[in-house]
Amino acid sequence: MDYISRFRVEPGSQVDLSKIDASFKDQHESHQHALPEIETYRQQLADLQYLMYAENKRSLLICLQGRDAAGKDGTIKHVLGAMNPQGCKVAAFKVPTREEAAHDFLWRYHRATPAKGEVAIFNRSHYEDVLVVRVHNLVPQDVWSQRYAHINHFEQQLADSGTHILKFYLHIDADEQLARFKQRIDDPARHWKISDSDYSERPLWDEYTTAFEAALSQCSTPHAPWFIIPSNHKWFRNLAISRIVSETLSALDMKFPAPTVNINEIRKKYHQIEKGESPS
């Protein structure tokens, strides 16, 4: 099955999250069963990122969104951690700083986009400004409702400049979220990660669903598609994302750049050095 077309939100379609099975795991029985495939894609990711870094012509922007405990941090650790930290950077977006808040909403995200040859991972992204901001009415409706178009234009401009964009919505259901919150409670080493928002946002589940569906429906474009990844099973999420990123990079048909120097000349110079002559 082609995961890119299987999980991509068709541009122009209306997303209904209630119709999407968050526990989907394809033909895999278990994590154990999927492990060799995950490892293959992780290795491919590492190789392709190196090639992108060497080629130095284009870049990759990966946006991760999802409800609390959907697995954004875990995806970074287990999937994107396969990449070389040189050439790969993670930007996590929290409550805006005073300087950030003093600018237009896209300013802080634009600063964090990848340079040529780089991969940037957004842990939360510019979509926060039509998600938490919309749900909590942090700006008036006439402001946030314009932002979908602003986001599409922003992403179009990045894409036209050689940035490939992949956006992943990590789809978990309410039961799975509660189970994960409870796991945190039962593990003292994870108590520091617990915040009041873990339960204070739960009553807003449906409002978030509406906001996610709007973002997924209005902002999945050919140049910056959204993927809805069934994420109740962490290992399936890792498999699907590593496979989609890997296949996307593979299709770019990247090449190592041609040498900038005359290889034969250099070979000759090394022979001279070996013989103790000073290179001409």
Residue 194: Cβ within 10 Å count: 13
**89 near a second copy, rule: CB under 8 A:** yes
Pairwise CA distance, residues 258 & 156, whole Å: 30
Q: Shortest distance, CB of residue 76 to a second copy, whole angstroms?
A: 5
Strands (E), 94-182: 119-123, 163-171
Exactly one of 80, 130, 172, 229 binds a second copy (CB under 8 A); which one?
80
Choose, by CB under 8 A, the member of 102, 267, 275, 276 that binds a second copy.
267
CB atoms within 10 A of CB 246: 23
Nearer to a second copy (CB atom), residue 136 or residue 270: 270
Cβ proximity to a second copy: between 251 and 273 the closer is 273
Site for a second copy in 149-188 (CB under 8 A): 178, 181-182, 185, 188
276 in contact with a second copy (CB under 8 A): no
CB of 123 to a second copy, least distance (A): 7
Site for a second copy in 47-76 (CB under 8 A): 54, 73, 76
**Subset of 224-263 contacting a second copy (CB under 8 A):** 256-261, 263
Sign of the C-alpha dihedral computed for residues 131, 211, 135 and 206 taken in this order: negative
User: What's the distance, Cα to Cα, between the start and end of the chain in Å?
Assistant: 59
Residues 132/136/137/143 CA torsion (nearest 10 deg): 0
The whole-angstrom distance between residue 276's C-alpha and the CA centroid of its chain comes to 52
Task: Tell me which residues in 92-111 interact with a second copy (CB under 8 A).
Answer: 92
Report the distance separating Cα 227 and Cα 10, nearest Å.
9
Q: Among 189, 253, 275, 276, which residue sits at the site for a second copy (rule: CB under 8 A)?
A: 189
Stretch that binds a second copy, among 160-168, 223-231, 239-247, 266-274 (CB under 8 A): 266-274
The single residue among 138, 162, 270, 277 that binds a second copy, judged by CB under 8 A, is 270
> Contact at 8 Å (CB) between 221 and 8?
no
- DSSP annotation string for 97-120: PHHHHTS-TTHHHHTTSPPTT-EE
**Footprint on this chain of a second copy (rule: CB under 8 A):** 54, 73, 76-77, 80-81, 83-90, 92, 121, 123, 178, 181-182, 185, 188-189, 191-196, 198-199, 202-203, 256-261, 263, 266-267, 269-270, 273-274, 278-279
